[in-house]
Structure 1
């Protein structure tokens, strides 16, 4: 436990103080992200993921990926350009636009957001999907987005989740559809208390004692791997570390933490991963042992090996994307509030549809 170091603790000092300017800027950024998310869902998401899906799932996903990839690019823009957080990649340089299963350690509630920074560099922002706990689907507005982007919601009880996972995974097998499916095998974010429970369980069952990660759960990973094995290019094993401490969502929004995010990437070919469930479980456990050692080295050396595998985001591209999004959303906002009443009726009906579709987890099927 001691190897984690002071700067990895949530009790550490903030990188920057929460000044009135950062507070105001953070509130403005949050309002912009929320309002643009709402308008993108109502005007773009409904048409691409619902109407177009009636005719073609493949083209529905392509169009949805374009619109939401454009919107999701606002988050790396916020992290790297507005908040000035350094996102540093190390390990292996991975090809662009592969179909992959992605696994990562789950250190804090916002780990999944920093996967967008790599996806942005690889042209895969709009096709990233997550396995996430079902309670997040109930978030206002964002829950609708999770549903439209076809995230897999789980109760974290295999007897409940198994059939839903297999049903969703079976729809992701088309090799024409770009796919980054992200899974956090630990099942929950890290804390000292959870780590103690994990270590106690490991000692009782003769499993490795891990200090910087929790014991991984293997059934969900095995299901993803086996259902998609024939259509995947690789598995990306990603390890995330923070300086000076792990951020919360509001730390990210207000730009007070982190100063640096370090992401180590390891690409594993499918042929190098065993096929039986027992061997896959052993492989995943060994992978998390390596991840645990990698994090121990990171906390002592303050960097991962082979750093600098990816360049910085283009400021010009970020600004052009931001301006395009704001112009589009301004147009939608004008139509909604200052144009025909039919736009208000349309927005109301779409909101009702998205609320019910997300709650009941239903998607339209093609007409033929």
Structure 2
């Protein structure tokens, strides 16, 4: 009985924090809808600043789960100046390999250490169009400047161009994350890897086993339509769990990342800052340049797996202090407890959840996706 209880409690270690992030979207969306209503009667920059405060608060809740609770060790390779920068943050495109549903938190970790007071509110992602169907979350991220792109079917450029224009003219800096591979890499996706390597070989390129052949379409759109860019941050992400026996090419998911074996719970991030004036703009040249960058990632990941001490020569990043993440965590905890005691808040939350189909419909009516 005691052993069964211990196993059950251990399982909850992963379920509770990840569920906490998901359920917190209800008060988060409720606050966002309120800010949206206020935006009709206050200047747009005021509403935008309120939204940034809300968004940054939620990002710090995520950092509490993925850093403070998980106990992950973070090692930074390459250009450490990115996280040491103080003063005004940069406007950047982040180009990263993609292998896990945890990948999105890495730029948030970096943004929290960039600029005076952190820069989490600047984080956006170019995401697949199907995510707009996620209740509340899909609607909100479009309001904050995320960009929906279609992986299949006819490309519809108008909503993408509108979002890029909005980012280019927005008040705060932006960090736009792009995954050029288009989908998550996994050693289990053998057919996908075969197709990727066939394309590389047909174009006189060596095959890869750690990343997929990248596409440059999203990067091209961003470069052509963001005039305020300062740099590209080339990010290569490597998870310590993939060094476990039989785990190469199988990155951890959210549960595994938060609650996997502590001895392998390491995150290695290779950073390269590329000034925007050094990035090619011509279509064919940019495509070749992007593949070259992923060939470098292939080599870096190979070295990571072959090294006896992969943290050698890196900078160990200290965990984000609780003084920065705990206030947001307590706020969302209180927001989740409040409806049990305050009927008005309970009704607001129920209306927010019930409005999810209308919010998705709004995205289609406004031709946002």
Match of 1:320 among 318, 327, 335: 327
TM-score (norm 1): 0.82
Shift of 1:90: 1.8
Shift of 1:305: 6.9
Q: Is the 8 A contact 1:101 1:180 kept in 2?
A: yes
Counterpart in 1 of 2:93? 101
Give CA deviations for 1:331-357 in whole Å, capped at 9, x if unaligned: xx53x454455x555444444545323
CA distance in 2, matches of 1:104, 1:155: 19
The root-mean-square deviation of aligned C-alpha atoms, in Å, is 2.7
Question: Among residues 225, 234, 239, which one is paired with 1:237 in the alignment?
Answer: 234
Structure 2 segments unaligned to the other structure (5+ residues): 1-5, 243-250
1:170-190, Cα deviation, whole Å (9 max, x unpaired): 111126322111000000111
Matched, 1:114 2:121: no
Task: Give the conservation status (yes or no) of the 8 Å contact 1:186–1:217.
Answer: yes
Determine the C-alpha separation between the residues in 1 that align with 2:165 and 2:112: 26
Q: How far apart are residue 358 of structure 1 and its match? A: 3.0
Contact 2:27–2:332, Cα closer than 8 Å, also in 1: no
User: Pick from 259, 265, 276: which aligns with 1:270?
Assistant: 276
- Where does structure 1 lack aligned partners over 5 or more consecutive residues? 1-17
Quote the residue 1:279 is aligned against: 285
Shift of 1:118: 1.3
Cα distance between partner residues in 1 of 2:160 and 2:40: 20
The question of 1:181 aligning with 2:176 is answered yes
Normalising by the residue count of structure 2, what TM-score does the alignment of the two structures yield?
0.82
Report the CA distance shift for 1:322/1:344 in structure 2 as closer, same or farther (over 3 A): closer
The 1-side partners of 2:350 and 2:69 are apart by 34
Alpha-carbon distance between aligned partners in 2 of 1:161 and 1:216, rounded to the nearest angstrom: 20
The equivalent residue for 1:38 is 26
User: Is 2:75 the counterpart of 1:88?
Assistant: yes
Q: What is the aligned partner in structure 2 of residue 249 from structure 1?
A: 254
Where does residue 217 of structure 1 map in the other structure?
215
Between the aligned partners of 2:156 and 2:302, the Cα distance in structure 1 is 33
Quote the residue 1:288 is aligned against: 294
Give the number of equivalent residue pairs.
Answer: 340
Does the Cα contact within 8 Å between 1:175 and 1:231 map onto a contact in 2? no
Once the two structures are superposed, what CA deviation does each residue of 1:107-148 show, in whole Å capped at 9, x if it has no partner?
Answer: 223211232211222212122111111222222343344333
